[in-house]
Structure 1
Amino acid sequence: MNPLINMQGLPPFSAITPEMVEPAMDQLLQENRQTIQQLLGSQRTFTWENLVEPLEQAEDRLSRAWSPVSHMNAVVNNDELRAAYNAVLPKLSEYSTEVGQNSQLCDAYKQVAAGPGLDQAQQKMLHNALLDFHLSGVDLEEAKKQRFKEISQELSQLTTKFEENLLDATNAWSKLITDESALQGLPASALALARQTAAQRDQEGWLLTLEYPSYLPLMTYADDPQLRREVYEAFATRASDQGPDAGQWDNTSVMARILELRHEQAGLLGFTNYADRSLAKKMARSSDEVIAFLTDLAERSRPQAERELNELKEFALASYGIEELEAWDIGYYAEKLRQQRHNISQEELKPYFPETRVIPGMFAVVERLYGIRIEAVEGVDSWHPDVRFFEIRDRDHHLRGQFYLDLYARPKKRGGAWMDECATRFFTKTMDQIPVAYLTCNFSPPVDGKPSLLTHDEVLTLFHEFGHGLHHLLTTVDYPAVAGINGVAWDAVELPSQFMENWCWEKQALDLISGHIDSGDPIPDELYQRMYNARNFQSAMQMLRQLEFALFDFRIHREYEPQRGGRIYEILEEVRQQVAVITPPPWNRFAHGFSHIFAGGYAAGYYSYKWAEVLSADAFSLFEEQGIFNADTGQAFLQEVLQQGGSRDAMELFVAFRGREPEIEPLLRHCGIAGQASAQDVQG
């Protein structure tokens, strides 16, 4: 048995050492190559049973072995593990390209696809596989195949380097405050976290870091503008040529090379640019359609965003004598205005969202929606003492899935929040593998022995990631390549996650997920009303910020020209002139930390968040019509979307649930964007 794979199906985290990683992966890669050779040489007539199924089993073993290594590299990073991870990356890339460029294997798959007796999921999986062969360069002449392979290897190393630079730059900066008066304005919870962070590092005072639970309260509440500027600059220049650590972990050349190689690889496959290449597996039919979609949303949102910014400027001048708002002032005075207008703050809500109430409440919400049960399991091996483990069972008590929950920020842990696969559902005559997920967040840890208190924004984040998790865990598709989130068009994969966020605004659901840390009482009606009234505070400004990111991402991949390079900040400036109402200082290096597109799966695909938000808002509007806990509607979403995974096209699944193609009006309504003119269908 390979040491990276446990007999029980769950990774042996505590037993995994950096020294075992490379030899264990080498062994699996060698076994997989032998399996492919044997399968192709053992028969002339290929079928699902004698080719696809055994090959899927080999790929699944490889995936399950690499999964804990990749995950630990993200959440308990250290030099030894990083070195082992980086040693294997090029080998995995080489193997993946080698398989994708195996013309004999591609021909065998074509033979299976043309054969009889395939169900719909099998047909979709084979369709995807043949597209993947093409996108791996199987049709290229030998010299171009070799170049494609070289590019794939270098890209895997560069995207990892980007993430490492960002993590190292984030971990490197901290600021010790020894006089509490310097932190005036910060709420007690933020002060307690800063003091606990200092104590954990054997320091006296209050330690500020660039981890989000430290950074966000500083930018929102710290009265000292110089402190806000210092922290903002450190955060906004991470891994760049600017700021306090200028040049030390600089991603400039990494980003330029990533764009250059993506463009070259897309060209090898016959695409004009990488944006067109990325759309080969998405709902959107053309890059023009994506640009038109984003531009339309920006045009609808900008007038309201300009009014929102003017209101903020007028408020800061009238109430505080501030004549010019700097980038590090926006969040601070926006919070002051929110409190004045709606008499509410994130901090006021935190006592109502202890994780000890939010987690079981979230489980109760999905239990009512989908008829499932979620139970904690003790004594499961993991990578950190804070990690918890849960099982999902259906009405008949059948085990449907399992997941790890890792909630808190800590050093050496990648920032942000995400869901990732540990194991994927795989069911055959000889296999009965349930799906397992990692759910990872970066919330404030428990302080002074009390449960972690979440902001409402963090509750939204938790529900978002749990939505991804349910998509992965509740699938009934038997083949890993189209089970759960696999095989789902990337611009539809955010549908289940954004969809789940809606329940965080509904009083019936909030009564389940909220309970005061001291009294246990749910959010009072009066406080809920204030919270709900503030829901769309500066929503148009927030909309434009996301559209700025999406347009920037799409344009740098669509408009890349080898002779002019990436023009990263030139294009970002053009996008800001088109859609933004707030202009950051010239030394801001946002792109140097944009890991979604330079290290994640969102290259030329960040627009997917807004695209899928149209789907999720429209899907939720059916619950608004029929009741947010309507069991029939919940079962319909479960059966038509969550269980289907990638076994059918995303638009087909949406129409099966909603009864029609999606409309944009529910999104605009949920966001409080005025001037909704005509409802525009999002085609796909």
Structure 2
Amino acid sequence: MKKTIVLSMMILFSIASSQGASDGTESNPLLMKWNTPHETAPFNLIKTENFVPAIDVALAEARKDVDAIINNPEPATFQNTIEALEVSGEQLDRVTGVLFNLNSAETNKELQAVAREVSPKLSEFGNYVSLNEDLFKRVKAVYDKRESLDLTPEQAKLLENSYKGFVRRGANLQGEAKKRYAEITTELAQLSLKFGENVLEETNAFELLITDEKDLSGLPEAVREAAQQLAKSKGKEGWMFNLQYPSYLPFMKYADNRELREKMYRTYTSRAFKDNDYNNEEIIHKIVNLRLEKANLLGFKSHADYVLSERMAETPEKVNSFLEELHEASKPYAEKEFKEVTDFAKANGLKGELQRWDWAYYSEKLKTEKFGFDEEEVKPYFQLEKVREGVFELAHRLYGLNFKENKDIQVYHPDVTAYDVFNEDGSFLSVLYLDFFPREGKRGGAWMNDFRAQSNINGKMERPIITVVTNFTKPTETKPSLLTFDEVETFLHEFGHSLHGMLANTVYPSMSGTGVYRDFVELPSQIMENWATEKEWLDLFAVHYQTGEKIPAELVDKLIKARNFQSGYLSERQLSFGMDDMAWHSITKPVTEDVISFERRVMDKTELFPHVDGSCFNTAFSHIFAGGYAAGYYGYKWAEVLDADAFSMFKKNGIFDKATAESFRKNILEKGGTQHPMELYKAFRGQEPTVDALLERSGLKE
């Protein structure tokens, strides 16, 4: 049940599911025992119409589990209340795990309708549990005598989490306040769903079909071929571009046609900001104001205060101070970089002001001129299959892991590959799904999730089932998938999250793997990105897809030098997102100001470009309005401090040093959320981190 209430409510952005006709529960594959490898989901048997009846049955079973705890005539104990609550609703966890993951990676209108139908049911059940006075009495009874209980450290943490979780979900509310809290949580779940659906709809709605070859000027041959293949797949003649990153970003970076770059930019940045059924402005107001109201009901002055009371950062003041410190360090560099690109663009024929649709185009040309580094020059050495082998080999050298494709595991789309993952001693560790390429049913970006979390209750070890989903460059008829350097870093990032899930070694599933504070969860992912410029690792796999030649040392040197290119600008951009997030969630009175005015007022201190009418960042800011990063987006920069500091240990001892890796595994990856993150970090590093390593790595320190 813990996953259903906490995770399902947290990742309703992943949802977008479907309704269907009831087909009787006896033959419903979602409710049967899965006689499959590692009890993985039988995707070949599951139909959209199976979900609603399966969730109805699973909800009823979960309620029975909870009622059994409430009605237990024995006095409340850790085992019959806290642990029983942790393991309740197992079937519901399983069914919603399939639903949410499919709705993120392979959705459709029917599946989205299911999400809308089941969302209020899940919210209602979540409130039945968290607002249940009799259940809370039992939880509180155990918590009140915690000092006299003979609990392990992990059991003590679970007890603390359980009690605080009830309080933070309204258990102490009474009467109308409790009723209103339930209404708010239900409405927020539905609004987050709708926000994500609108962004996906607007992303998929746009296609730029080019029929005149001169409009392709500047675009590399591989980009042209991919565009031609996309047009062909749509039954069109010519070259097609869309708003998915593998199509959008190369166009903005290389296309000489400024008018078309402007068209692409304006379309991308106006998603869910147009006068149509998919506009997210009103939804944003509703979400932030309801979050404020919920926080007030729980005794907090803002949603940020509520969230950060259970984060490493602790308070909005500390987050804002952290962001401001990095802003002051980054802004002078960002201004110099902006002037450098502006001067370069004017020297190369730009008339008028440098606009946002010019930035990637002229930045790429300047980078090539300064460092002799061209993204297209690197891509032939990053064939996806080889990169995957390199990432697997990195996990082997660090942690002794081995990966073997298992074709007997059913997958939900032909693009997906499933692997058995083994420890060095041959023991089974995890299932890993890899899903690389964009499609209309997949939301944008990249993420890691789980179908099943690791647990080991009463000696019954359940190993995790993990999925990594990306939107990488697809192969063409003449070329394999050749990744950009950014995509290689993204692979490493999400694989780092997967290691956090796969290597989990806790007792309770709510605290395994990525079940940690939001501002700590990015450490295992971001530290992996550091290997991307290490020649010793690149030499293991980075060979030219045609000649087999290893990536040349001088090319790696260029890549390293170019890595900090415009680091000030990039830092300011990331900080602006964090400041924007904090502003929305630090409000103490309901917002009536229109979204674009609020956005500009908050983000102006980091702004370098003239404003673009018709563009809005927040209406597609899914991380905070359809995901779990509300009052938490700063966590990316926070974790950068941690990862830069942590990787310095590998730089000191060797990038494949087994002892350092073992310490990181034992103290960070295996422990999940069983201890406070700073305790875990200090156990690995021996000290608290400082920003020095990050500023030095980013070239933002003299």
Same-fold status (TM-score > 0.5): yes
Residue 95 of structure 1: aligned partner: 125
Cα distance in 1 between the residues matched to 2:423 and 2:614: 53
Residue 664 of structure 1: aligned partner: 691
Tell me the matched-pair count: 669
Q: Does 1:381 align with 2:410?
A: yes
3-state SS in 2 of match to 1:309:
helix
Residue in structure 1 matching 2:442, options 390, 413, 427: 413
Residue 77 of structure 2: aligned partner: 47
3-state SS in 1 of match to 2:449:
strand
Q: Does 1:649 align with 2:661?
A: no
Q: What pairs up with 1:229-378 in 2 under 5 angstroms?
A: 229-241=262-274, 246-378=275-407
Q: Does 1:146 align with 2:174?
A: no
Judge conservation of contact 2:455–2:505 (CA < 8 Å) in 1: no
Cα distance in 2 between the residues matched to 1:520 and 1:155: 53
Residue 432 of structure 1: aligned partner: 461
Residue in structure 2 matching 1:76, options 94, 100, 106: 106
Deviation at 1:193, TM superposition (A): 1.0
Match for 1:448: what amino acid? E
Match for 2:586: what amino acid? R
Residue 678 of structure 1: aligned partner: none
Q: Does 1:35 align with 2:65?
A: yes
Cα distance in 2 between the residues matched to 1:371 and 1:502: 19
3-state SS in 2 of match to 1:672:
coil
Judge conservation of contact 1:316–1:323 (CA < 8 Å) in 2: no
3-state SS in 1 of match to 2:348:
helix
Q: Does 1:540 align with 2:568?
A: yes
Residue in structure 2 matching 1:20, options 45, 50, 55: 50
CA-to-aligned-CA distance 1:550-602 (integer Å, 9 cap, x gap): 0011011102522x425533332223322232344132111111000000100
Task: Compare 81-90 and 590-599 and name the one that shifted more.
Answer: 81-90
Match for 1:580: what amino acid? E
Residue in structure 2 matching 1:585, options 612, 629, 633: 612
Deviation at 1:194, TM superposition (A): 0.7
Deviation at 1:321, TM superposition (A): 4.2
Closer, same or farther in 2 for the Cα pair 1:98/1:523, shift >3 Å? same
Residue in structure 2 matching 1:565, options 588, 592, 595: 592
Judge conservation of contact 1:25–1:66 (CA < 8 Å) in 2: yes
Cα distance in 2 between the residues matched to 1:550 and 1:663: 19
Identity %: 40
Judge conservation of contact 2:301–2:588 (CA < 8 Å) in 1: no
Deviation at 1:42, TM superposition (A): 2.3
Judge conservation of contact 1:259–1:560 (CA < 8 Å) in 2: no
Q: What pairs up with 1:59-70 in 2 under 5 angstroms?
A: 59-70=89-100
Cα distance in 1 between the residues matched to 2:73 and 2:660: 48
Residue 597 of structure 1: aligned partner: 624
Judge conservation of contact 1:260–1:565 (CA < 8 Å) in 2: no
Residue 4 of structure 1: aligned partner: 30
Residue in structure 2 matching 1:444, options 461, 473, 476: 473
Deviation at 1:70, TM superposition (A): 1.2
Judge conservation of contact 1:182–1:224 (CA < 8 Å) in 2: yes
Match for 1:470: what amino acid? L
CA-to-aligned-CA distance 1:195-253 (integer Å, 9 cap, x gap): 11111111111111111111001100000000100111110101112xxxx42411111
Deviation at 1:7, TM superposition (A): 4.0
Judge conservation of contact 2:423–2:429 (CA < 8 Å) in 1: yes
Judge conservation of contact 1:155–1:258 (CA < 8 Å) in 2: yes
Residue 681 of structure 1: aligned partner: none
Residue 526 of structure 1: aligned partner: 554
Task: Compare 528-537 and 112-121 and name the one that shifted more.
Answer: 112-121
Cα distance in 2 between the residues matched to 1:381 and 1:566: 49
3-state SS in 1 of match to 2:436:
strand
Cα distance in 2 between the residues matched to 1:449 and 1:121: 54
Match for 2:700: what amino acid? I
Cα distance in 1 between the residues matched to 2:491 and 2:47: 30
Cα distance in 2 between the residues matched to 1:228 and 1:22: 44
Match for 2:627: what amino acid? G
Residue 621 of structure 1: aligned partner: 648
Residue 577 of structure 2: aligned partner: 549
Q: Does 1:221 align with 2:247?
A: no
3-state SS in 2 of match to 1:13:
coil
Deviation at 1:349, TM superposition (A): 0.8
Judge conservation of contact 2:61–2:89 (CA < 8 Å) in 1: no
Cα distance in 2 between the residues matched to 1:95 and 1:609: 32
Residue 155 of structure 1: aligned partner: 188
CA-to-aligned-CA distance 1:359-380 (integer Å, 9 cap, x gap): 0110101111112222221232
Mark the runs of 5 or more structure 2 residues left unpaired by the alignment: 1-25
CA-to-aligned-CA distance 1:125-154 (integer Å, 9 cap, x gap): 111111110111000012111111111011
Judge conservation of contact 2:466–2:498 (CA < 8 Å) in 1: yes
Deviation at 1:15, TM superposition (A): 1.7
Residue in structure 1 matching 2:161, options 128, 149, 159: 128
Deviation at 1:111, TM superposition (A): 3.4
Cα distance in 1 between the residues matched to 2:476 and 2:268: 24
Cα distance in 1 between the residues matched to 2:480 and 2:462: 34
Residue in structure 2 matching 1:180, options 196, 213, 222: 213
3-state SS in 2 of match to 1:512:
coil
Residue 679 of structure 1: aligned partner: none
3-state SS in 1 of match to 2:88:
helix
Residue 631 of structure 1: aligned partner: 658
Cα distance in 1 between the residues matched to 2:507 and 2:140: 21
Cα distance in 2 between the residues matched to 1:34 and 1:617: 48
Q: Does 1:512 align with 2:540?
A: yes
3-state SS in 1 of match to 2:632:
coil
Q: Alpha carbon RMSD of aligned pairs, Å?
A: 1.5
Match for 1:152: what amino acid? T
Judge conservation of contact 1:304–1:674 (CA < 8 Å) in 2: no
CA-to-aligned-CA distance 1:370-415 (integer Å, 9 cap, x gap): 1222222123211100100112211211111111100001112100
Q: TM-score, normalised by structure 1?
A: 0.95
Judge conservation of contact 2:401–2:423 (CA < 8 Å) in 1: yes
Judge conservation of contact 2:58–2:89 (CA < 8 Å) in 1: no
Match for 1:44: what amino acid? E
Mark the runs of 5 or more structure 1 residues left unpaired by the alignment: 676-684
Match for 1:571: what amino acid? F
Cα distance in 1 between the residues matched to 2:314 and 2:110: 44
Task: Compare 447-456 and 591-600 and name the one that shifted more.
Answer: 447-456
3-state SS in 1 of match to 2:528:
helix
Match for 1:670: what amino acid? R
Deviation at 1:356, TM superposition (A): 1.3
Cα distance in 1 between the residues matched to 2:346 and 2:544: 36
Cα distance in 1 between the residues matched to 2:414 and 2:533: 32
Q: Does 1:461 align with 2:490?
A: yes
Cα distance in 1 between the residues matched to 2:455 and 2:134: 25
Cα distance in 1 between the residues matched to 2:212 and 2:598: 43
Cα distance in 2 between the residues matched to 1:432 and 1:13: 24
Match for 1:28: what amino acid? A
3-state SS in 2 of match to 1:390:
strand
